[in-house]
């Protein structure tokens, strides 16, 4: 029997974008919408889940898993809504049914390439530095300047066809027959660091994460998180770094 494909999306005042994706790909998969802003209007046959409060991005993903029948035997797409599939949609919806693995596509944003996000697992010091940098506004602004400057100088490799990596970018994931039972039970921070929480789960369970350049996604990067107050965002990042250090290092 062919396994099902579910596409999980989180609504936080972005229902128009979600509807566009549903209209385009409704024939290829079943859509599951977690309505964090409690204002989503159902217009198709998507499954709409309404938690009692805003439970964040990764919290929304775990909430959806609890309401999907046999999610561990399914193919799951988990993404932002501010994306467009530029090429490789035939590969996105065709897969090796008997294998357990993660696919991370090529993701292009206005700021450049976003995958491979992290090739190898970072050291403890890597996250300690980020935790310190996010402790106050001055350090944080200096840190953001240095990070953006480094990204500007870095040249993205254009000859990587397919390879195994540590972590994919959080805006678009493809999970094939992964048992998330233990992951759902874990406690995570509200927002940010989703890539690392997922990457550590895959790392600890020896689940391969594959960067697949044949699937190309354009990430517009105008989601609601980009509109957050900078100081509030800093605090959320600080919480995510603390969570990563406490849980995995």
Map out the domains of the chain with their CATH numbers: 5-120+157-221 (3.90.550.10)
Residue 151 pLDDT greater than 90, yes or no = no
Residue, of 102 and 149, whose pLDDT is higher? 102
pTM here is 0.93
> DSSP for the chain?
-PPPEEEEEEESS-HHHHHHHHHHHTTTSEEEEEETTS-----SS-EEE--SS---HHHHHHHHHTTSSSGGGSEEEEE-SSEEEEE-HHHHT---TT--EEEEEEEEETTEE--S-BSSPPPHHHHHHHHHHTSSHHHHHHHHHHHHHHHHHPPPPS---EEE-SB--TTEEEEES---HHHHHS---SSS-HHHHHHHHHHHTT--EEEEEEEEEEE---SGGGGS-HHHHHHHHHHHHHHHHHHH-
Query: What pLDDT shows up at residue 227?
Result: 66
pLDDT digits (tens, 9 = 90+) for 203-224: 999 999 999 999 999 999 876 6
Residue 237 pLDDT greater than 80, yes or no = yes
Query: What pLDDT shows up at residue 98?
Result: 86
Q: Tell me the mean pLDDT in the region 70-75.
A: 94
pLDDT digits (tens, 9 = 90+) for 221-236: 876 666 678 899 999 9
Residue 154 pLDDT greater than 60, yes or no = no
Query: What pLDDT shows up at residue 161?
Result: 62
């Amino acid at each position: 029997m062919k396994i099902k494909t579910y596409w999980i999306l989180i609504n936080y005042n972005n229902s128009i974008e979600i509807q566009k994706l549903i209209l385009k790909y409704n024939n290829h998969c079943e859509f599951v919408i977690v309505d964090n802003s409690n204002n989503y209007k159902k217009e198709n046959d998507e499954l709409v889940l309404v938690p009692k409060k805003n439970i964040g991005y990764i919290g929304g993903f775990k909430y959806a898993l609890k309401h999907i029948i046999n999610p561990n035997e399914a193919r799951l797409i988990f993404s932002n809504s501010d994306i467009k599939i530029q090429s490789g949609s035939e590969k996105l919806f065709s897969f090796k049914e008997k294998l357990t693995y993660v696919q991370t596509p090529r993701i292009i944003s206005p700021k450049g390439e976003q995958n491979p996000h992290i090739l190898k697992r970072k050291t403890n010091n890597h996250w300690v530095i980020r935790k310190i940098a996010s402790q106050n506004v001055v350090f944080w602004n200096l840190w953001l300047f240095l990070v953006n400057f480094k990204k500007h100088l870095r040249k993205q490799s254009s000859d990587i066809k397919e390879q195994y990596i540590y972590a994919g970018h959080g805006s678009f994931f493809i999970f094939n027959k992964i048992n998330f039972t233990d992951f759902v039970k874990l406690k995570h921070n509200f927002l940010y660091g989703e890539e690392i929480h997922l990457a550590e789960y895959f790392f600890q369970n020896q689940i391969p994460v594959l960067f697949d350049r044949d699937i190309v996604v354009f990430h517009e990067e105008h989601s609601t998180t980009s509109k957050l107050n900078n100081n509030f965002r800093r605090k959320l990042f600080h919480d995510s770094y603390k969570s990563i250090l406490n849980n995995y290092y």
